[in-house]
Each structure stands twice: as structure tokens, then as C-alpha cells.
Amino acid sequence: MKKIYVSADPVQCGWLESLLQASNIECLVRNRFLGGAIGELPINEAWPEIWVVNDNDEARAESVIADALAPLLVTEDWRCAGCQEWVEGQFGSCWQCGHVRESNPAA
């Protein structure tokens, strides 16, 4: 059993789970229904987690997830940490202040 992905979004986790299953990778989601506990638990302990059952599937599962998320990462708008301006996803730095996009701009 290996944890391969954590997301704040249970819908996204369910979507990734179905993609993994479609690739014949046995997996499960933990914390899927704990959303209501956020605020009582440390936030990252309440997030849904995707686990692969067989360690041998880990690399394949990670590539399925990376392929699935790549287009989203490119197109999702992000908020500049320098000036708080919203920037379109295809840009790697802020149009207003030039701040370079950070790896997890949504956090």
C-alpha cells in the first residue's frame, strides 16, 4: 500500500480513482467523506488520499495522475503571491509584478 496523491478536492480524488481503475490499478481513497471534519483536524490530515494497493503499481499510477492533471495545471488561473493578482494559467509569471509562479499556487 502506498499513498500516491493527496487532494483538497474529493471530487478530483474520485475522478482520479476512476482513471486508475480504468488502467487496472487497484486503489482506494481514504478520508473521502471527512470534509466536514476540516476545522477540527489539522487540514492536511482531513484531505482525501489516494492509495495504490500494490506497490508495484506506484510508478504507473503516478504517471496516470500526472497525465490527467497536466492539462489542468496549465490552464488553471493562479493567484500571484507577490501582488495577489489573478493570472491566467498559461503564464509562468505575473503580468503585473513579474513574480514567478510557485509550484502550488492554489494553496
Q: How far is the CB of 76 from Zn ion (least distance, A)?
A: 17
Question: 23 or 96: whose CB is closer to Zn ion?
Answer: 96
Residues 6+ apart with CB under 8 A from 78: 86, 87, 89, 101, 105, 106
- Residue with Cβ nearer Zn ion (77 or 85): 85
* Closest to Zn ion by CB, 52 or 80: 80
**13-15-18 Cα angle (round to 5):** 110
Minimum separation from the CB atom of position 84 to Zn ion (A) = 7
Q: By the criterion CB under 5 A, which residues form the site for Zn ion?
A: 80, 82-83, 85, 94, 96-97, 99
Count how many Cα atoms sit within 13 Å of the Cα of residue 60 in the half-sphere of its side chain.
15
Give the shortest CB-71-to-Zn ion separation in angstroms: 24
